Amino acid sequence: MRIDSWSAKARFKMLAAGMLMSAGMAYPQVSGTQTPSTMTKIVVRVMGPGIKPGSHAALPKTIYRAGEHYARIEDPPDARQRQEKLTIIAEPDAYSVNLIDKTGTVAQRQGDANDLHVPMVLPFDPNHELPNLDRLEFGDELDFFERSGATKTAGPLINSKPTDAYVLKESFGMAKLVVRGGTDIPVTLSWQARDGTYKYEYMAYQDLPFDPALFAKPAGIRFKNVTPDTGAEEK
């Protein structure tokens, strides 16, 4: 199915699923790994083809990344679907929780030494028509554009403050990252795809002291274990 035939709701679910799937595909053993000292908190919303302003798909979500093995994704509540999704990766464990009905799944993977990934473009590119941008991740925005040879220019004035813009030429046009002038803090990130232009707006982007409680197994949730060797439930 092509992405231009997806509804806004399906696109939003695909974004959330893509984050979890990409993280879940690579679960290295992390015993002995040093706990990170900081984490990055990102609050972001997405706009694009089929995403109606004010809809659930357009609401902000909060993402935390810490080191190479920790991520937390907080989706906004969806009263219509009776769902408020929380995803926590603390390798090798992954938790997917519905905070409304207090149910969830827990998975544990062991395998290769790749790190988890929190992709930005890949969930909207199921046919991999943008192979370079499919590697773009939350928390690595400026480094990615610099590694990819982006052209740096003066960006627009936003709230009367200067910005820097990094531009990449891609299959269907360009991808652009706008950051606060002289910093690595994103303001917007946009890219052109076959079905139109997508854009993330950043509402917050800050480094904070690492909080292990944010990556712990959520309490009060009835979990189903979805590891390959068991389907048992635990409380």
Q: Is the pLDDT of residue 4 over 70?
A: no
DSSP3 helix / strand / coil % (the chain, rounded to 5): 15, 40, 45
49-77 confidence digits (pLDDT tens): 989 998 999 999 999 999 999 999 999 99
For residue 227, how far is the Cα from the chain centroid? Answer: 23
CATH number of the domain residue 104 falls in: 2.50.20.10
Alpha-helix residue ranges (DSSP H) falling in the chain = 8-24, 141-147
pTM summary value: 0.82
187-229 confidence digits (pLDDT tens): 999 999 999 999 999 999 999 999 999 999 999 999 999 864 4
For 120, the domain range is 3-29+37-234
Domain count, the chain: 1
Q: Which residues pair with 193 in a beta bridge?
A: 196
